[in-house]
Each structure stands twice: as structure tokens, then as C-alpha cells.
Amino acid sequence: MAQPVQQRGRSFGAEKNKIIEQEVAKLMKAGYVSEVQYMEWLSNVVLIPKASRKWRMCTIFTDLKKACPKDLYPLSRIDVMVDSTAGFEMFSMMDAYQGYHQIYMAKEDREKTSFITQAGIYCYNVMPFGLKIAGATYQQFVNRMFDELIGKTMEVYVDDMLVKSKRSQDHLEHLEQTFRIMRSYGIKLNPDKCTFGVSGEKFLGYIVSEHVKVLVRDEEGHQSPVYYVSKMLQGAELRYLEMEKLVLTLVTTARKLRPYFQSHRVVVLTNHPLKYVMSRPEASGRLIKWGVELGQYDIDYQPRTAQKAELLADFVIELSSDPEEQNCKWMLHVDGSSNANNGGAGILIQVPKEVDIEVIASLSFPITNSEAEYEALILGLELVYEAGARDLEVFTESQQVPKAENDKADALSIFGAVMSGIKDYEIVKYLEDGTLPDDPVKAKRVRFRAARFTLLFGQLYKRTVDGPLLKCLDGEKAAYVMREIHEGSYGNHSEIGEESQWVVMYDPKSNQNERSFDLTVIEEKRDAAYAKILHHKGLMIKSHDQKIRPRQLQVGDLVLKKVDVSKHVGKLDAS
């Protein structure tokens, strides 16, 4: 048990002593305090000015707070509570009059709240303002009292109450329900702090209305909308690269405003390529970790200005409206590629003034190489015609064009075929241009999974915890790789010509089932391993921090130097 502390009485001027006497007399008349002679704990009072130019007497329970355990009853989140008022048409804001005084103190604990004034020593019969557990205790009290209404027609934060109605004609009924409960518990209101039947008003520092919620501050009678999210960089964070500090800013904001990031689409206006930096294969471990964390939210990265869009628009205008360029010769390179289930078309348009346009088309149906090339040719002709070309030279694989002259179109077609066959085609599109499926649930999953992938030279790769990238293959290429491992050049290294035990026991059907199962659960295993690594790192950091005692050294402080006696130190050696 903590040692009781009796504070020495403070001296006030005659005017303030008179105010304190008046406040004590009011509390005595209401039965909230009693005079006491023998006490172990003793605290002082202080006068705090109100906005109404009156004074409030508060007791400073500094020492008593240190001895009291903390009440872990959770207080409601103000921002989430205020968000729940969206869509309601009419509001009434109320403030309980001396709400804490509605709860009586236990008789054995009353003398612990004793306070000293010039007129004598008193203790509280009811719960006073300033106790460590006062807020949580009163919140628990009002939550039980208004349990039937909270979240439906009412929101309560300690002694601030809000009645809300989706239809204005129902508001009187909702107020009547609230007053009936308050009357049964003997709760009284402060009329100076109550507002009834409004469509928008200030509540807990926010302006609430049917459509919008804004956090405001008062500056010389003027309300300014503002929301601050701040973090002081410490230790190793001060040595982060500039781009890492920017990403850390976004991560910190997402953590502090988590309910908003989970419930809404967030637009981040920045002139820095944050999304690209977090998806680079050579990104640092912390950037990859932050990218995965931010991947669970619907974040749209947009430039601060429309400069890029304007440049693209100007390019399109110049490309299609210059008569001289329309009369110049354009070059069209096309090629097609196919695999077992689909194909791809690669198109390269060479525009005058050394401008190249690359187009990749995925053909999601069975097709041959020749058919894929025809599809690429038709699509390419349509594109150049719409762009305004009138003099065109076409290069295709079937014309026996040298491969060096058509290699880029060939590469584009192969990528188109591979991309259409990959299971994570949506991820490729999202990493390329931010395209997401129309289904919001599926779009959220794509964003979350995309944080674990990266595009390198047009090929999709899966990130790993220890650094190496895993190349993503379609079903046909994956089967080919597995055949090479088990049957091909890697299958049997015996020099005497006999089959190894692995080749003899190999069953294609059972092996395929095992590999399919492994590919199904491999991502979960990697996530679990990554979580385990982070857990062990946290334990190591905690163990290290417990053994280290930080000490700030100032200029001029004397420190001990450890000298190795076995090492010869000469006159000219560093000391």
C-alpha cells in the first residue's frame, strides 16, 4: 500500500479565498462534501477560469493519483463516434450538470479525497473531478444507463450527450426517451451548454451535420477546420532516406486514422513516386514491410497537379492533328505468340520524330501463333488509322523479317501471352496502371496481394522475406519446369546409366497433386514464417532494450577508457 501524503496548504488572495468559500458552501448545501477532522490523505484546491469568465474550483489529487490503480474500462473513440452521426437529419447536444457528482464515493474511501481550504478541511461524499478513475467510471455508468439507445439514437462521451434522428419528425420522441431515462437516474442538465433541434452543431470539438464532419479549433472567435497528425523522429528514424521518411509519414497517418483508412478510399496527393518506391524489387526491408501494411487499404496515389495529364493530352493532340506527320511514313511491327490456353499480341508503332508506341494485347482464348499474329495486325491497323496515319509500312514475322528488326514486337507478344495466362493477371494490371476489378471486395484483395509482387522488365515476380525474387509462371511453363526438374536434365545424374531412386518412384499424378497443394499453401507458410521472424526480432529488441541503460553525455563529461594491457602503446600511438 502507498504511503499517505498530506500536502501543505496553499495561500490565495482575499478575492480567491472568497470564491473558494462560496464554492465549498454550495457543495456543502448539496451534500456533496462534508467537514472532516482526521485524515491520512490531504490535497490542495486550485481555481481554473471558465470560458464564461467564472471560476471553477478543482482539487489537485497529484499524490492520490499515483497510488490509485488505473481503470482499464475503454473510452469510446471520439472520431468513430462522430462518424456515426453521418446521415442523420437533426441533433440535440446536452451536457450533464456536475455529472461526476451523481456517483457516490464508498464511505471507507471518502476521507482519502480530503482537501484543505482557509475555512477548514473537507472530504467528498461523491466522486470528484480529477480522480484518476473518474472518467472511466462515469463512462461505464452512462453506458449502462443509455445502453438501449447508444448507437441508435444517442451517442455519449463521459458527460457529453448527443441525440440524433434520421427524420426530424422523430426527434421529439427520441428526446422523450432520453429524458425518461435521465429522470429515473436523477441526472440534471446544464442549460447553458445544451442545444436542441439543430441540423448541425459543434460536438466534442467537431462540427457534425447530415453530410460532413469537420474537426475545428477556435481562433479569436473564428472556427478553423484542422486535423493534426504528428510524429517526432527518433533514433535511427533520423537517418532514414528522404523517401523513407515520406513513406513513414503515410504509415503513421494510416495507423492513427485507421478507422478512416479502413472505411473509405483515401486519395494521397504527392509529387513523389511512393507507390513505385515501395514496389521496387531492390526496396529496403522496411519499405517492403510498410508497402504490405498499406496494401490493405484503398489508397489512390495522385499527383498534386494535372501537369502529367496535360502533357499526355498535348501529345495526343500533336500525334493526331499534325498534317505533315500524317503524310510521313509510319512503321508498324506486329507479332503474335500462343501457349496451351491463350495468346498474346505485340504491337510497336514507330511515329515520325522518333516516337514509339508499345501495345500489349492479351488473347484469352485458345489460338495458334499465326492466328495471334493476324489479331495483332488487325488491332495495329485500327490503332494507326485512328491516330491519323496514311502512309504505313508493316513488318510481321510471316514476312521473314530479320528477327532483330521485329524483336521488340516479339517480346511484347510473348509478355501478352504470359500475362493473360497468369493467375494474378489483375495484379499485373494494377502494378502497371492501377487498374482494379469492379468488385470492391475483389479490388481490396488485389491491392493487398499486389504489395507482395513486383514487375521487372514486364515480368511478374513474387517478393520473399530474405530478398530473392520468385518468377511467376503460367500453368504450362510451371509444368515444363517441373518436368525438367524430375525428368529432364536435372532428373538423373547417374553416370552408369541406371535410373535413380527418385526417377523410379516418381508418379506424375501424385506428384502433380502434391505440387498443387504446396502451391496452394505456400503463401500462408511464407506469411507465417515472416510473422515468426518479426516476432523473434521483437523479442531480441526487447531483450536488448532491457539491458541498455541510456545516458546522455554532455561536452566536458569524463568517461572511462578501456585499455588492452596486452597491446603495446608507444609515444606516438593514439591515446
If you write DSSP's letter for every residue of 222-236 in order, what string do you get?
EEEE---------GG
Task: List the end-to-end C-alpha distance of the chain, in Å, as a whole number.
Answer: 53
Q: Domain 14-206's class?
A: alpha beta
- Each residue's pLDDT, cut to its tens digit, for the chain (575 residues) gives 678 888 888 888 888 888 889 889 988 998 999 998 888 888 888 888 877 778 888 888 888 888 888 787 877 777 778 778 878 889 999 988 887 888 888 888 888 889 988 888 999 998 888 787 888 888 888 999 999 999 899 999 888 899 999 999 999 999 999 999 999 988 888 888 899 999 888 887 777 776 655 555 555 656 555 566 777 888 888 888 888 888 898 998 888 877 777 777 888 888 777 877 777 666 667 787 788 788 778 888 887 644 434 433 443 444 444 455 556 778 888 887 776 667 777 778 777 655 566 666 767 667 787 888 888 888 788 777 766 677 888 887 766 555 555 566 665 555 555 444 444 677 888 887 788 888 877 787 787 778 778 877 677 877 765 566 777 776 667 666 666 655 555 454 444 444 445 555 567 767 776 776 676 667 777 777 877 888 888 888 888 888 877 777 788 888 777 655 555 555 555 54
Place of cell 428526446: 175
Contact 472, 422 (CB under 8 A): yes
Instruction: Say how many C-beta atoms besides its own lie within 10 A of residue 337's C-beta.
Output: 25
Contact 213, 82 (CB under 8 A): yes
CA atoms within 13 A on the CB side of 550: 3
Which residue ranges make up each domain of the chain?
14-206, 212-320, 330-396, 424-487
**Cell numbers found for residue 63:** 499524490
CA atoms within 13 A on the CB side of 306: 4
Best CA proximity match to 471, nearest among 484, 485, 457: 457
Residue type for position 479: A
Contact 203, 92 (CB under 8 A): no
407-421 vs 475-486: helix crossing angle, rounded to 10: 90
Query: What distances in angstroms separate CA 519 from CA 176, 397, 522, 525, one per listed residue?
Result: 61, 37, 5, 10
Task: Say how many residues make up the chain.
Answer: 575
What would the CATH number be for the domain defined by 330-396?
A: 3.30.420.10
Distance CA(186)–CA(189), nearest Å, equals 10
Q: Identify the three-state secondary structure at position 71.
A: coil
Distance CA(391)–CA(326), nearest Å, equals 7
Q: Identify the three-state secondary structure at position 336.
A: strand
What's the predicted TM-score (pTM) here?
A: 0.44
